[in-house]
């Protein structure tokens, strides 16, 4: 689970093979699946630093030649004065080059291990995805949106496990935000529902409080559930007690989002790692949740049922009546030469097709939750309004005070 092969984590634990890891990364670069931008930037940095060191060395040498005869006793001091910075710069370059090579080897080994692990469990390894086309809330924030170290499985349904990065700007400062996620493809769209877990420090945003739905039992201790107004009964259909128990037991550290035909689980830490224990727990979680999704996919939005003409009968009784009316004449009542059949006073009333259920889909009110305004923003707006009223009042009272 989610593949057809059993869980096999040996690829994450086997002894390293630097040659194989390097060859695998080279193949990914040839296929355009891994960028060389980082190595090019590092090479440019090394060249710039070498040029600077060469400049320092040249300046020091010239100064020694010019002033050595005049300051014979201080020539050694001058040599030390310019020699130490140069040695320090050389040490920095050597250390940076060493750590750069080491980081490159670690990244190569990570890709190689994850690719072999993915193959062992019938999944596909994708090194990175720029601007992932997923409808989850976190995939529309910031800039530089990239999913990395993604593993995809397609049986028994599409599952994607990966790490996600994006950058947010706050004036001159930039912050890289990191998430781990699990994306599960559903067979039908469902209403937009968010489970805000109380056991983590992440947030999918602020939603209107009137969209909060309290559920029975201990569920509210672990999750705060938001669903569109008018879809409370639908949420209760989806989150039956056994489904709630699955989420409490297996996913209480995740924020959960159902949007369109996707189920997302979000973590503040990486989900795609080299830790076999982490993967074993992830596969256990998927096994616990996937067998409940068939129940969800039977849900239909009654708001999508077609409008019924009150003059046209609906339902099984109407259909049976229509069939009986059509069969009253029988073969012997057919008029000769194609005329109207005898024995029937009038043609039966039209019978509409039997509506078994609404088609898959979600009506517009249920497709997205309404975003709320954070309390901090409300406080700032209230403070500005209060200050404005004070200033207006002072402006109006000032002429009165001056005339007194």
pLDDT at 44 over 80: no
At which of 296, 326, 345 does a domain end?
Answer: 296
Shared domain for 130 and 227, answered yes or no, is yes
Question: Do 153 and 122 form a contact (C-beta atoms < 8 A)?
Answer: yes
Q: Average the pLDDT over each of 38-52, 274-288, 337-351, 353-367 and give the range with the smallest value.
A: 337-351
Q: Is residue 362 part of a domain?
A: no
Q: Is omega for the bond preceding 2 within 30 degrees of 0, making it cis? A: yes
Q: Is residue 388 part of a domain?
A: no
Backbone angles phi, psi at 49, to 5 degrees: -65, -40
- Give the integer Cα–Cα distance in Å for 161 and 148: 10
Shared domain for 55 and 135, answered yes or no, is no
Per residue in 221-230, pLDDT (tens digit) is: 999 999 999 9
Total domain count, the chain: 2
Among 232, 227, 163, 159, CA closest to 196: 227
Shared domain for 18 and 100, answered yes or no, is yes
Shared domain for 228 and 290, answered yes or no, is yes
pLDDT confidence of residue 329: 42
Give the rounded percent of residues in the chain with a pLDDT score beyond 70. 64
Shared domain for 69 and 202, answered yes or no, is no
- What average pLDDT does range 311-325 have in this prediction? 46
**Residues pairing with 161 in the sheet:** 151, 182
> Angle of helix 75-120 relative to helix 37-68, nearest 10 degrees?
170
Shared domain for 186 and 270, answered yes or no, is yes
Backbone angles phi, psi at 145, to 5 degrees: -70, 120
pLDDT at 276 over 90: yes
- What average pLDDT does range 256-262 have in this prediction? 97
- Give the integer Cα–Cα distance in Å for 91 and 107: 24
Cα dihedral 55, 61, 64, 66 sign: negative
Domain containing 175 equals 124-296
């Amino acid at each position: 689970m989610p593949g057809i092969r059993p869980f096999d984590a040996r690829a994450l634990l086997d002894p390293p093979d630097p040659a194989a890891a390097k060859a695998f990364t080279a193949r990914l670069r040839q296929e355009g699946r891994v960028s060389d931008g980082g190595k090019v930037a590092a090479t440019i940095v090394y060249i710039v630093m070498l040029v600077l060191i060469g400049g320092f060395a040249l300046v020091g040498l010239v100064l020694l030649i010019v002033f050595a005869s005049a300051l014979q006793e201080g020539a050694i001091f001058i040599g030390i004065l310019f020699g130490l910075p140069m040695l320090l710069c050389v040490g920095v370059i050597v250390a940076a080059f060493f750590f750069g090579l080491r980081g490159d080897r670690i990244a190569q080994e990570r890709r190689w291990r994850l690719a072999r692990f993915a193959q062992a469990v019938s999944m596909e390894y994708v090194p990175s995805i720029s601007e992932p086309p997923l409808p989850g809330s976190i995939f529309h924030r910031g800039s530089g949106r990239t999913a990395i170290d993604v593993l995809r499985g397609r049986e028994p349904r599409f599952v994607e496990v990966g790490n996600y990065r994006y950058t947010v700007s706050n004036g001159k400062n930039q912050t890289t935000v990191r998430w781990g996620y699990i994306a599960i493809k559903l067979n039908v769209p469902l209403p937009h529902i968010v489970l805000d877990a109380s056991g983590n420090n992440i947030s999918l945003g602020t939603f209107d409080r009137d969209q909060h739905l309290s559920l029975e039992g201990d569920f509210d201790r672990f999750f705060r559930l938001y669903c569109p107004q008018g879809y409370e009964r639908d949420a209760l259909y989806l989150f039956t007690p056994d489904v709630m128990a699955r989420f409490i037991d297996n996913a209480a550290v995740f924020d959960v989002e159902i949007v369109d035909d996707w189920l997302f689980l979000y973590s503040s830490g990486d989900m795609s790692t080299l830790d076999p224990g982490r993967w074993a727990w992830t596969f256990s979680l998927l096994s616990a949740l996937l067998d409940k999704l068939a129940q969800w996919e039977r849900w239909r939005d009654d708001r999508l049922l077609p409008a019924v003409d009150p003059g046209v009968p609906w339902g099984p009784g109407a259909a049976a009546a229509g069939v009986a009316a059509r069969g009253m004449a029988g073969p012997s009542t057919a008029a000769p030469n194609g005329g109207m059949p005898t024995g029937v006073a009038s043609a039966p009333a039209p019978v509409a097709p039997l509506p078994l259920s609404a088609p898959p889909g979600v009506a517009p009110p249920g497709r997205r939750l309404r975003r709320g305004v954070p309390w901090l923003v409300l406080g700032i707006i209230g403070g500005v309004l209060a200050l404005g009223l004070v200033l207006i009042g002072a402006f109006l009272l000032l002429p009165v005070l001056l005339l007194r």
